[in-house]
Structure 1
């Protein structure tokens, strides 16, 4: 911009000379006019005036023309300078733009590498998450994707081994828990649940050496439990432990075949007769001793356990009377308690 402001100064000397020449013409014209006016001859006066006016006009025109030309030249020079400045500025901007483009290319490459690293890290985290939630198929698919897209074959192989080990550990833990559950069902005599769990394990892990023997083991434990109950039944019968014998017989009902059940009919019939006699004796003692509530309890149990016996029919006919007597006994007990409280 300093060059543009200095350009008009190139014609300063010419401008001064031109202005002096114009001023000389104007002053000379004025002098001619004045000389003509002071003359005595009319034609000469006229020519002096005309010549003077012409000189003045030409002088003014010359000054104005020189001013316009110099101004036009100054404007043209200024515009040329501005054009040159703009050209230089544009050149510098283009060079800077080229640098920016080059830097952008480098930046894009760097961004691409950063994005690739981030995408790879995200893929690793996703694979680890799939392994933690035991999504083995999904994890293997992601590992294949890592090997295909990023070319990380060694890392992919390593992750496959880790996933394989994790899967083996998970299966081992679950199998251990399932085996413990089978044992728990067997201890509780829940054979149907134990068999269902074994069938599920056989379907999932048919070749596992810990699963294959389970059906035979279940059968052995079932037979063991059955033999234990039979021994307990015989012991209770020999001891005349009627109540326990009946409880054992209820459990044995799940294990006995029709032929085995037929073999136990005589001893079972004897046990139930003894139970019925015992309950009949308890009922009579309770009635004799006027323990109406105990009599009601024993009688209701007798009717429930042996509904088709003659004794149950006799007890059933007396239950209403026993209820009335028990109710009357409760009323008298409350009245006695009220009197005792008032006396105290």
Structure 2
């Protein structure tokens, strides 16, 4: 990577000085010897000059490495850095971190100059983000449709509002609240029609079941038109249960009598019939338990 700061340059200079000292020391010592060794000294000086020239060449090479700028080093390493950057972008795509991926794409294009690669990555990210977004919208609407099918109207209205807030830019979410309200209105109309038909046909059990559902579904104002029919159905249902209870007691079918008596108490708790049943229900339950043994 080359030497990058002044401290390392001073260390290098110290090493070179040490080498020069060690190589010139013999010359100094030789200068103190007798004149009979002049020929050997000449040979030694030639060798030292050669070593100094070699050291000078090495210093020049190291100096060129030291003065390389950051941009020059980046050019030398740009292929490796490109591969690392591309790998990081791939990881962001896998993690669905679209914004982070686009930041790296801009880095790839503007800092390193790989504009073609950057545009390819940008297209991939935008395509993947759109697909993920569409999938999320589809799944949210499918969940809403499930609530509508289950007649969970309050939950469906809340979910429609949430989807519209989260995916407000998606055209698929337009009119979700209206869709829920329309489905609820159609369901109410169907329940009302079935209730009236059951009451007309004196299908009291069916009419009572529908009446309970209407009680949760209709507002007080909406229920006013059905009050008279509802009173008739409730009266007949109470009378029918009373007849069933008396017949079960008469036939000593204690298990059936206990079951019908509990329905009377639960469904018509404020009626005189319920009060009468409460007085004898414990005895009936006891006889029913005895019969099971």
Deviates more, 1:259-268 or 1:198-207: 198-207
Distance 2:47 2:203 in 1: 124
Q: 1:148 matched to which residue of 2?
A: 110
Q: 1:224 aligns with which of 183, 186, 204?
A: 186
| Cα distance in 1 between the residues matched to 2:46 and 2:242 | 133
Indicate which of 174, 180, 197 corresponds to 2:136.
Answer: 174
Please, which of 247, 254, 261 is the counterpart of residue 209 of structure 2?
247
Partner of 1:259: 221
CA 1:316–1:180: 2 relative to 1, 3 Å: same
Q: Following the alignment from structure 1 to structure 2, what is the Cα–Cα distance between the partners of residues 217 and 325?
A: 55
- In the TM superposition, what is the alpha-carbon distance from 1:283 to its structure 2 partner? 1.8
Measure, in 2, the Cα distance between the counterparts of 1:209 and 1:112: 47
How far, CA to CA, are the matches of 1:129 and 1:206 in structure 2? Answer: 28
1:233 and 1:86 map into 2 onto residues whose CA distance is 118
Deviation at 1:115, TM superposition (A): 2.9
Moved more, 119-128 or 216-225: 119-128
Aligned position for 1:130: 92
Instruction: State the partner residue of 2:163.
Output: 201
- Match for residue 48 of structure 2? 86
RMSD: 3.1
Who is 1:52 aligned against?
none
Q: Does residue 119 of the first structure (1) align with residue 81 of the second (2)? A: yes
Matching residue of 1:270: 232
Deviation at 1:237, TM superposition (A): 1.5
| Structure 1 Cα separation of the partners of residues 171 and 71 of structure 2 | 56
Query: Do the aligned partners of residues 141 and 188 (structure 1) sit closer, same or farther apart at CA in structure 2, a change above 3 Å counting?
Result: same
Out of 270, 274, 279, which is 1:317 matched to? 279
Match of 2:258 among 296, 301, 306: 296
The number of aligned residues is 260
Matches of 1:328 and 1:175 in 2, distance apart? 60
Query: C-alpha distance in 2, partners of 1:295/1:313?
Result: 15
Aligned-residue offset at 1:147: 2.5
- 2:238 and 2:268 in contact (8 A); partners too: yes
Whole-Å separation in 2 of the counterparts to 1:74 and 1:254: 128
Quote the residue 1:46 is aligned against: none
Q: Distance in 1 between matches of 2:155 and 2:90?
A: 35
Measure, in 1, the Cα distance between the counterparts of 2:71 and 2:173.
Answer: 56
Q: Distance in 2 between matches of 1:127 and 1:196?
A: 38
Q: Residue 169 of structure 1: CA displacement?
A: 2.0
Which is further off, 139-148 or 171-180? Answer: 139-148
Distance, in Å, in 1 between the alignment partners of 2:150 and 2:71 is 69
Change in Cα spacing, 1:166 to 1:215, as seen in structure 2 (3 Å) is: same
Contact 2:167/2:173, CA 8 A, preserved across alignment: yes
Does the residue aligned with 2:173 lie in a helix, a strand or coil?
coil
5+ residue gaps, structure 1, are 1-70, 334-344
List aligned pairs for 1:45-64, cutoff 5 A.
Answer: none
TM-superposed CA distance for 1:85, in Å, is 2.8
Give the TM-score of the pair, scaled to structure 1.
0.65
Rate the CA distance shift 1:95–1:253 in 2: closer, same or farther, 3 A: same
Unaligned stretches of 5+ in structure 2?
1-32
Aligned to 1:234: 196
Aligned to 1:287: 249
